[in-house]
Amino acid sequence: MESTYKEPTALIVLSGIFLALGAVFALITIVDMIWRQGWKSMMWIMIPVYPINAAYMGPLTLYLYFRYGRPSKPEKRNHVADTGKQAKDIDAELKDASDDVESGMAHHGGHNHHDEHHMALEEQMHSDHDAHAGHNMHSHMHGPSADRPMWATVLIGVSHCGAGCVLGDLVGEWLVFGTGATINGADIWPCLLIDYAFALLFGIIFQYFSIAPMSGEYGPKTLWRAAKADFLSLTFFEIGLFGWMVAYQVGIWDYRLEMNTWTYWWMMQVGMILGFVTATPINWWLITKNIKEPCA
């Protein structure tokens, strides 16, 4: 629908401020994950979840990220060097012990002493290796922490759903804008339909790559589990978002607000916050009923 409506300058400035704040919050999580090399210890599907949600939930997402989702610090180089030096020292001891035996100290008791010393050194090497492997396994665990409270688990689950919804809405909105699609002369109605379809697609993808690594099962069965888990969560998220879209597009601006304006996307940001709120109770229910897997 063609419109000559121009928002007041104050409204444009206010919209820009809130959108810029969202961008800053998202950038904080991105920079921190890059600095900590989050791809080494985080479930990869959670890497985009935090920046996407920070763009509209701001401080809440930052709290969830820094308190429960932040990746562990990368190992320092000198620590790695010390580990390598320790291994070399043990190898040198083993070699010296072997040389001592070969040089004539290999009487029966000496043999026993050498064998015991050799076994002790090997046990130390295995112990160090196992401890290092255990650390790596811990840093790559995909499941949620056992001491994480239920409310945080639910909010992270909503964030996971919200990321798929936001991506779907972005694709859908600009697809409608680019094609000029309308129903009864208004673009909001095709927006609702196409946004929901893409949000469901992205949501199931996000859910699939959350369930599959934790369960170790990839394929149609896990895809069906992802669809069941995400359908209700995503639908309740869109109830809040779509309700607000209709309210501001139809009720407040009478179809006059164009999609390529700052104010339109500030209103979308507000709608996503409302979607997060409406999706929280259903995520609590889905997780407590073991229908939806808690996200890492």
pLDDT, one tens digit per residue, over 82-120 is 555 555 555 555 555 555 545 544 444 444 544 554 455
pLDDT at 79 over 50: no
Question: Same domain for 114 and 161?
Answer: no
- What pLDDT does residue 128 have? 47
What's the whole-number average pLDDT of the chain? 81
Residue that terminates a domain, selected from 139, 166, 183: 139
- What pLDDT does residue 124 have? 52
Amino acid at 295: C
Asked whether residue 169 is domain-assigned, the answer is: yes
- pLDDT band of residue 78 (cuts 50, 70, 90) is low
More confident: 44 or 189:
189
Asked whether residue 295 is domain-assigned, the answer is: no
What is d(CA 256, CA 173) in angstroms, rounded to the nearest whole number?
A: 16
Asked whether residue 187 is domain-assigned, the answer is: yes
Asked whether residue 293 is domain-assigned, the answer is: no
- What pLDDT does residue 135 have? 41
Asked whether residue 4 is domain-assigned, the answer is: no
Buried b (16+ CB within 10 A) or exposed e, 130-162: eeeeeeeeeeeebebeeebeeebbbbbbbbbbb
Question: Same domain for 162 and 264?
Answer: yes
Question: Mean pLDDT, to the nearest integer, of 248-274?
Answer: 95
- What pLDDT does residue 5 have? 83
Question: Same domain for 67 and 186?
Answer: yes
Q: What is the pLDDT of residues 195-252, one digit of tens each?
A: 999 999 998 988 888 787 777 778 888 888 888 888 999 999 999 999 999 999 999 9
Question: Same domain for 41 and 147?
Answer: yes
Secondary structure string (H, E, C) spanning the chain: CCCCCCCCHHHHHHHHHHHHHHHHHHHHHHHHHHHCCHHHCCCCCHHHHHHHHHHHHCHHHHHHHHHHHCCCCCCCHHHHHHHHHHHHHHHHHHHHHHHHHHHHHCCHHHHHHHHHHHHHHHHHHHHHHHHHHHHHHHHCCCCCCCCCCHHHHHHHHHHHHHHHHHHHHHHHHHHHHHHCCCECCECHHHHHHHHHHHHHHHHHHHHHHHHHHHHCCCCHHHHHHHHHHHHHHHHHHHHHHHHHHHHHHHHHCCCCCCCCCHHHHHHHHHHHHHHHHHHHHHHHHHHHCCCCCCCC
Residue that terminates a domain, selected from 89, 110, 139: 139
Whose CA is closest to 23, among 289, 254, 265? 265
Could you tell me the two tokens for 263? 């104010």
Asked whether residue 3 is domain-assigned, the answer is: no
- What pLDDT does residue 89 have? 59
pLDDT at 287 over 50: yes
Question: Same domain for 93 and 155?
Answer: no
Could you tell me the two tokens for 113? 């002493």
Domain range for 153 is 9-73+142-288
Tally of domains in the chain: 2
In sign, the C-alpha dihedral spanning 121, 123, 125, 127 is negative
More confident: 225 or 182:
182
Residue that terminates a domain, selected from 121, 139, 157: 139
User: What residue has token string 């359908």?
Assistant: 231
Whose CA is closest to 165, among 274, 28, 251, 291? 274
Asked whether residue 294 is domain-assigned, the answer is: no
Question: Same domain for 203 and 81?
Answer: no
Question: Mean pLDDT, to the nearest integer, of 2-27?
Answer: 92
Question: Same domain for 239 and 114?
Answer: no
pLDDT at 291 over 80: yes
- What pLDDT does residue 254 have? 92
Statement: the pTM of the whole predicted model exceeds 0.85: no
Question: Same domain for 91 and 189?
Answer: no
71: left (phi over 0), alpha (psi -120 to 50) or beta: beta
Comparing 3-7, 39-43, 90-94, 288-292, which segment has the lowest mean pLDDT? 90-94
Question: Same domain for 57 and 86?
Answer: no
- pLDDT band of residue 76 (cuts 50, 70, 90) is low
Question: Same domain for 104 and 152?
Answer: no
Asked whether residue 111 is domain-assigned, the answer is: yes
Percentage of the chain beyond pLDDT 70 is 74
- What pLDDT does residue 40 have? 83
Question: Same domain for 131 and 30?
Answer: no
Question: Same domain for 188 and 216?
Answer: yes
- What pLDDT does residue 2 have? 55
